[in-house]
Chains A and B, each alone.
Chain A
Amino acid sequence: MLGDIITPDLFASALRMATPLALAAIGGTICERAGVVNIALEGIMLTGAFFGTAMVLLTGSPWLGVIAAVASGAGISAVHAFASINLRSNQVISGTAINLLALGLTGFLMELWYGHPGTTDPIKVLRPIFNFESPGGGAIAEAWRWFDSIVFSHTPIVYLTILIAIVAQVAIHRTKWGLRLRALGEHPRAVDTVGVSVYRGRWVAVLMSGALAGLAGANLTIEQVGSFTENMTNGRGFIALAANIFGRWTPVGSYLASLLFGFADALQIKLQILRGVVSIPPQLFLMLPYLLTVIVLAGVIGRAVAPAAVGEPYEKG
C-alpha cells in the first residue's frame, strides 16, 4: 500500500502544489519585510487566476495570460498599497477588503463575461518544458524515472519560482535594495532620515508582492487546473502567510516551508485517488494542509520574530 502512495509522482506533485504557495509566500516576505502586512494574498492570487484565464480565453496565448495575471495582481495590490501606505488604514482590514473585493469582482465579471457562475471553459495551458524518453527496464531506468519525474516533469512557472526564491534571497540579504527593504520594516524612521522615501519603498514592495501572488494565480489556472473556478484559491493565500512565518521571513525559507505544505496537499490528492485502497473519507484528507498549517504555526511562532515595524502605518515626521 505504501508503495502505491510513495511514488515519484507524489514528490513531483508536491513541487507543483508548493509553487503557488511559495510565490505568494515570497510576496508576503517582501511585503512584510517592508513593514506592510499582506492578508490580501488570497484575493490577489484569485484575481491573477481569473484575469490570467480571461486573457487566455480572449487571445489563446498562455503567456499573455501569465502577463495579465501578474499585471492584475499588481493592479489590485495597488489598492492595498494606497489604503495602507497613503491613507494609513489598518492593514489587516484593508487586506480583508481586498479579499472580499476579489471574490466579488471575479464572480461578478465571470457572470458578466461568460454568462454563468462556477467554472470557465477550459483554456490552453503551459506544457512541461522537458519531455525525455524513458529508457528500458532495470534499476537505472527506475532511478531515472524518479529523477525525471521529480526534476524534469514541470511547467515553466515551477522552475521560475525556484529561481525567484534564490534571486529574492540574494536581493534581500546581499544588496543595497535589500538592506533598505529590511530597514523599512524594522525602523522606517531611519530610512526616512537618510533621505529615502518610505512611501515609495513600501509601494514597490506591495506591488512586487501583488505581482508574485498574481503569478501564483497564473500557475494555478494556466499550468495546473486549466480553467478558473470561483474562489478556487481556497485559503492558499493564508497558508502562504503561514509559510512565510515558518520560513522566518526569508524567500528560500518561504519556499522550503511551502514544499512542506505542498507535500501535504499532494499527499491529500494521492490519498483521494487511492480511496479504494485507503478507506478514510476524503474530507478528512482535505483538512490536512489546514491542520498542518495550524500545527506548524503552533510549533514555530515563539522562535520566529517578525519585522519590528510590520503592520504599523508610517507617518511622515
Chain B
Amino acid sequence: MNEKREQPVLVQRRWMVAAQKIGAPLISASLAVVVGSLIIWASGYDPRAAFIALFEGSFGSPKAIGDTLLKATPLILTGLAVAYGFRAGLFNIGAEGQLFLGGLAATWLGLSLAGLPWFLLIPLMLLASMLAGAAWAFVPAILKARIGAHEVITTMMFTYIGRYLVSYLVIGPLKAPGQIPQTAELPDAGQLSRIQALFSEATLASFEFLKLGRGHLGIVVAVLAAVLVWFVLKYTTLGYENRAVGFNPWASQTAGISVQWTTVKALCISGGLAGLAGSTEVMGVHHRLFDQFSSGFGFTGIAVALLAKNHPIGVIPAALLFGALAAGAGRMQFQADVPQKIVLIIQALVIFFVAAEEIVLWFIRRRQKEAVSHAG
C-alpha cells in the first residue's frame, strides 16, 4: 500500500464506527418491530392498522406528541439510571423500586411543606426524590461492594419491598380521606406545569403545535439530566472512574481507583436518577401518590439504556421510541383491537436483538482490524 491510501482508510473507519453506533440500534429496533408485526399478523390482527393506530396515538397530533413526551419523561430518567450503572459494570434492574421511593419522598415533602413557594418547593421535591432513590440503592450498593452480593437479586428484592412500602403508606399513614387508597393532592406550587399552560390562549390559537395536551415540564428536567450525566461521564473524574471501573475493574484497582467506592457511588447515582423519575411522574402527571403510579418505567428503562448503548444523549431518542410505543398502545388496542401487551413483547425483542447484535458488530470490527492489519 502506498502512503496516500492511509488517510482515506482512517477517515472511512471513523465514519463507519459512527454509522455503526447509530445504525446498529436502528437495525435492532427495526427487527423488533418486524417480529412484533409478525406476531400481530399471526394472532389474526392487521399489523398495518395496528401501526397506523400506534403512530396516530403517538405522533399523529400535538396532543399525541404530548402523550409521547409524557411517557418518555420517566423513561429518559430510568434509562439514564440503568445506563449509568452499566457504564460502571453494574446492572441496576431495580430502578422501578428506586422510582417508587422517589415518588414517595417527593409526595411526602410536597404535602409536608405545602406553604412554600414553587421555586423552593419544586427543587426541594426533586432533590428529595433523588436522595430517596439513592438511599434505596445504597444497601444493594454496599452489599455489592463489600461482599459481592449480586445487584440483580438485591435491587430486585428492594423493588418488591419498595412497592409494598408505598402500597402500605397510601392505604395507611399517608392516605387521604375517602375510599380510594391514595394521598392528598399536591399543592399547586409542588406540581410541574403542563407545557401548554405556559402559553396564552392567543399564542396557542396561532401555534397549534404547542397544544401538547398532558405533556409537562418534567421533560425539561429529564433532558437536562441527560446532558448533565453526559457531561459527568465525559469530563469529570467521577465519570472517568465510573467508566474505568466498568471497563476493567482490575486495571482500575491497580491504577489506584477504589473499585468498591466507585461501585457504591455508581449504584447510588443510578438510584438517584431513577428516584427523579418518580418525582416527575408524581409532580407532572398524577399530582398525588398511589400504589400503581408507575407502569413499569423502571423495567422499560433497561430496554432504553440498552438501545441507547448506554450513551446518555442516546437515551433521549430511545426513550422517545418507547414513550411513543406506550403512548400509542391505547389507541392501537381501541382502534385495531390488538392487546397493548404487544408493546412489552416488542420491548423484550429490542433487548434481545441489541444483546445479540454484539456478535454482528464483533465480526464487523474483526474484519476491519484484519483489513487494517493487511493494509499496514
Residues of B145-194 whose CB lies within 8 A of A:
147-150, 152-154, 156-158, 160-161, 164-165, 167-168, 171-172
Tell whether, in the assembled complex, residue B165 and residue A287 are in contact, meaning their CB atoms are under 8 Å apart.
yes
Chain B interface size, under 10 / 10 to 19 / 20 to 34 / 35 or more: 35 or more
Chain B residues, CB < 8 A from A112: 43, 339
The interface on chain A, measured as residues whose beta carbon lies within 8 A of the other chain's beta carbons, has a size of 45
A156 at the interface (CB under 8 A from B): no
What does DSSP make chain B's interface, helix, strand, loop or mixed? helix
Pick from A93, A104, A286, A297: contact of B355, CB under 8 Å: A93
**Interface residue? B223 (CB, 8 A):** no
Check if A128 is an interface residue, CB within 8 A of chain B. no
Task: Decide: B157 and A104 in contact? CB cutoff 8 A.
Answer: no
Q: Are A101 and B160 in contact (CB under 8 A)?
A: no
Q: Distance (Å) between the CB of B169 and the closest chain A CB?
A: 9
Supposing A100-B299, A104-B345, A301-B148 touch, asked if A294 and B164 sit within 8 A by C-beta, the answer is: no
- Which of A57-65, A82-90, A193-201, A221-229 lies on the face that meets chain B? A82-90
0/1 interface trace, chain B 80-113, chain A, CB 8 Å (1 if under)? 0000000000010100000000000000000000
Q: Does B356 contact A (CB under 8 A)?
A: yes
- For B43, what are the chain A residues with a Cβ–Cβ distance below 8 Å? 108, 112
Which of B15-23, B124-132, B274-282, B346-354 contacts its partner? B346-354
**In the bound complex, how far is the Cα of B299 from the Cα of A298, in angstroms?**
24
Evaluate whether A281 and B355 lie within 8 angstroms (CB atoms) in the complex, with A93-B306, A286-B164 already known.
no
Cross-chain contact of B143 among A241, A283, A297 (Cβ < 8 A): A297
In the complex, which residues of chain A have a beta carbon less than 8 angstroms from the beta carbon of B150?
Answer: 241, 245, 297
Contact with B along A111-124 (1 / 0, CB 8 A): 11000010000000
Asked if A108 meets B157 with Cβ closer than 8 Å, knowing A96-B93, A100-B299, A101-B348, the reply is no
Contact of A283 among B147, B164, B349, B358 (CB under 8 A): B164
The complex places the Cα of A103 from the Cα of B359 at a distance, in Å, of 26
**Which residues of B lie under 8 Å from residue A39 when comparing CB positions?**
152
Taking a contact as CB atoms closer than 8 A, the residue among A105, A283, A294 that contacts B167 in the complex is A283
Contacts known (A111-B339, A283-B167); A297 close to B149, Cβ less than 8 A: yes
Residues of chain B with a CB closer than 8 A to A250's CB: none
Partner of A101, one of B93, B152, B164, B352: B352
Minimum distance in angstroms from B343 CB to a CB of chain A:
7
A233-265 Cβ-contact flags toward B at 8 Å (1 or 0): 011001101100100000000000000000000
B366 sits at the interface (CB 8 A): no
Let me know if B351 and A93 touch, CB within 8 A.
Answer: yes
Which of A97, A117, A238 is close to B351, meaning CB atoms less than 8 Å apart? A97
Name the one of B91, B152, B160, B359 contacting A287, with C-beta atoms under 8 angstroms.
B160
Known contacts A105-B345, A235-B157, A238-B153, A97 near B143 by CB under 8 Å: no
B303 CB within 8 Å of chain A: yes
**Are the C-beta atoms of A281 and B172 separated by less than 8 Å?**
yes
Contact B147 A83 (CB under 8 A): no
Residue from B171, B306, B342 within 8 A of A104 (CB atoms): B342
Counting CB contacts under 8 A, is A165 at the interface?
A: no
Do A90 and B148 touch across chains, with their CB atoms under 8 A apart?
no
Given contacts A100-B303, A281-B172, contact A107 B344 (CB under 8 A): yes
Shortest C-beta distance, B336 to chain A (Å), equals 13
Quick one: which of A107, A241, A284 contacts B168, CB cutoff 8 A?
Answer: A284
Closest 8 CB pairs of A and B: A104-B344, A283-B168, A101-B348, A107-B341, A100-B348, A104-B345, A111-B339, A89-B355
Contacts from A to B (Cβ < 8 Å): 39, 79, 83, 87-90, 92-94, 96-101, 103-105, 107-108, 110-112, 117, 234-235, 238-239, 241-242, 245, 281, 283-284, 286-287, 290-291, 293-294, 297-298, 301-302
7 examples of A-B residue contacts, CB within 8 angstroms: A39-B152, A100-B347, A101-B352, A112-B339, A241-B153, A290-B160, A294-B157
- Starting from the known contacts A97-B348, A107-B339, 17 additional A-B residue pairs (CB-CB under 8 Å) come to A83-B355, A93-B354, A97-B352, A99-B348, A100-B351, A103-B348, A108-B39, A108-B345, A235-B156, A241-B152, A281-B172, A283-B164, A283-B167, A283-B171, A284-B168, A290-B160, A294-B139
Residues of B within 8 A of A (CB): 39, 43, 91, 93, 139-140, 143, 147-150, 152-154, 156-158, 160-161, 164-165, 167-168, 171-172, 299, 302-303, 306, 339, 341-349, 351-352, 354-356, 358-359
